[in-house]
Amino acid sequence: MKYVSTRGLTDPVSFNEAVAIGLAPDGGLFLPESLPDISPRLPAWKNLSYAELCTEFLSIFATDIPADVLEQIVHRSYGTFTHPDIAPLRKIDPKLYVLELFHGPTLAFKDFALQFLGNLYGWQCAQKNRSINVLGATSGDTGAAAIHGLLGKPLTAIFILYPEGRVSPLQERQMTCTGAANVHAIAIDGSFDDAQRVLKDIFANKSFATQHNLSAVNSINIARVLAQSVYYLYAWLRLPEADREKVEFVVPTGNFGNVFAGWLLQQMGVPILGFKVATNRNDILHRLFTTAEYRSGEVHPSLAPSMDIQVASNFERFLYYALDESPTRVNAVLAQIKATGSYRFDLLNKSVFSSSAASDEDIAALIKRVYERYRYIVDPHTACAFKDLNPQRVSVVLSTAHPAKFPAAIHAAIGQEPTAPALDELKSRPIVKHRLPADAEAIKAFITQRAV
C-alpha cells in the first residue's frame, strides 16, 4: 500500500517511508492511497486479543514490514501496559460505557500509538544502521508518551516542545524527570499552537530535516492515527451486538487526531453510528460542528490543558476527504484559512458528528456528578465527554488519561486525590528542561548541538 500527501505535491511513498518522514515534503499529511473495506474481516476478528487485533489491522497498511517483525513490534509495544485487556471497556450504566485508555506507561491514551511508533523507529534504525532525531510538540500527554516510547533507545534522540506553564505539573515531570541522555524537553514561551507552528516551520526546511534525519512524532504521523484506530475497533467488537448498531463514541479532543482515527475506521466499513467531539473552553471543533465554520481564536488555559488548542492539525486529513480527495481544493481552503483565519463548509454531516464544549466550571461539576452517580473518577479531559450525552444512543466515552495526573482538579471537585505509583516516584526526581523562545531558528540551533 502506498501513501499520498493531502496537498498532492509529493510522490506516493511506502508505509515505512511515510512513518520515517512524518510530515510530507510539500507540508501535507500522509494518508493511504485508498481505504480498504474491512467489514468482511470483522467476524473473524471478534475474539482476538488486543495485540492480535492490532497486528491483523496494521498488516493491511504496513505491507512493507515482514509479518513476523510487525507481530513482534506490536507485542513488545503493548507488553508495557498494566491491564490484561490493554483497553478495557467498562459498562457503568445500561447505555453508557467507558473505554479506559490510560493503562500504558505514561497513563494516557497517547501510549497506544507512541509505544508502537517508538518500537517501529527502533526497528527502522537497526535496519538502516542510521540514527533518527524525533521532533514533537505537545500540549501535555503526547510529549510524555513519545519520550517513553523512545526512552534510552540506541541511535535515537527526541526533542519535545511544550508550552511553559501550560501543562500540568505531573505531565511536565513525565517529560523532564526521565534522566535519559537521549531526551530533550524544551519549554517554549507561548501556547501549544506556537509550538506546533515552530515544528511545522522546521520540517518545512527540507535540507535541515534531511541533514538531521528528523521525523515527526505528533499525530501528523500516519502510524499514530492507524494505531489509534485499533482501540475503537477493539471496543466496537466487544460491545453486545444490539449496542453496536447504535453506538456513538464520545471523544475528548483538541487536535482532531483521536476522533479522526475513529472516523477513518467508519470509512473502512465498520458500522459506527456516530462520533461526539468533546472540547473544553477552547472550542474551535465544537464551533465547527455547530456552525459549519472553522475559525481559530485565542488559546485560553484550562483545567483540561491537553485540549488547549486552536489549530487542529489533523483537521487537514478530514478536509481531504470532505473535499473529495482533491489536493487542489485542499490547498485552496488552506490558503483561505491562512489568509482569513476561517473557512465555511457548505455542509457537514451532523448525523455522524455532534459536539459539546465544557467550561472549567462545567469540568469541575462533571467530575463531581460522574463520581456521585457512578462512583467513578474521571480526569478533566474525560469529564468534558460526559456533557450532554445523547440518551437515544449507546455512548462509549473515551477515558483519555488517568485522573492521578490531575490531582489538584480532582481534589477540588470531589475532595479526593487519586494516586498512581509511577507518578509518585517522579516527585522526588530533578527536573531537567531547556527554556527557549517559540522561534524556529533557536530550536534548530538547539537540535544541531544535540542531534545524534
Catalytic residues: 110
Distance of CA 322 to the CA centre of its chain: 21
List, in order, residues 6 or more apart from 230 with CB less than 8 Å away. Answer: 50, 53, 54, 57, 58, 112
- Helix (DSSP H) and strand (DSSP E) numbers for the chain: 20, 15
Concatenated DSSP letters for 82-141? Answer: SSTTSS-EEEEETTEEEEE---STTSBTHHHHHHHHHHHHHHHHHHHT--EEEEEE-SSH
- How far is residue 256's CA from residue 116's CA, in Å, rounded to a whole number? 20
List, in order, residues 6 or more apart from 49 with CB less than 8 Å away. Answer: 86
CB-CB contact of 196 with 137 (8 Å): yes
How are beta strands 3-5 and 89-93 bridged, if at all?
Answer: unpaired
Helices (H), 297-356: 315-322, 327-340
Task: Using alpha carbons, list the distances in angstroms from residue 280 to 79, 104, 109, 248, 360.
Answer: 33, 24, 18, 19, 8
